[in-house]
Amino acid sequence: MSQEEYSQLYLERQRLLEDAIIRAENNQASQEDYDIIRFESGLPSKRKSHSSQVLEDVFSDWSNIFGGSK
């Protein structure tokens, strides 16, 4: 993976987290938003569903790319 690809993935991950936080601050967050915030904070997801598992797998892969899983 090139440095440019790494940077792009990192920026996308940061954007997802920032968007989720903004929605939470405005009382408009979905469960997926809270799952993103919890995952990035190192906390487990409160619910287990197919969509949250897919998201968790994606973030786990990104975490491994960005220097190891939590």
Evaluate whether residue 13 is within a structural domain.
Answer: yes
35 and 45 in contact (C-beta within 8 Å)?
yes
Element (H, E) at 49: none
Structural domain containing residue 43: 3-65
31 and 24 in contact (C-beta within 8 Å)?
no
Please tell me the pTM assigned to this model. 0.59
Evaluate whether residue 55 is within a structural domain.
Answer: yes
Q: What is the pLDDT of residue 60?
A: 81
36 and 44 in contact (C-beta within 8 Å)?
no
Per residue in 30-63, pLDDT (tens digit) is 999 999 999 888 888 776 555 667 777 888 888 8
45 and 39 in contact (C-beta within 8 Å)?
yes
Predicted confidence band at 70 (pLDDT cuts at 50, 70, 90)?
very low
Count of domains observed in the chain = 1
Per residue in 8-24, pLDDT (tens digit) is 988 998 999 999 999 99
Evaluate whether residue 37 is within a structural domain.
Answer: yes
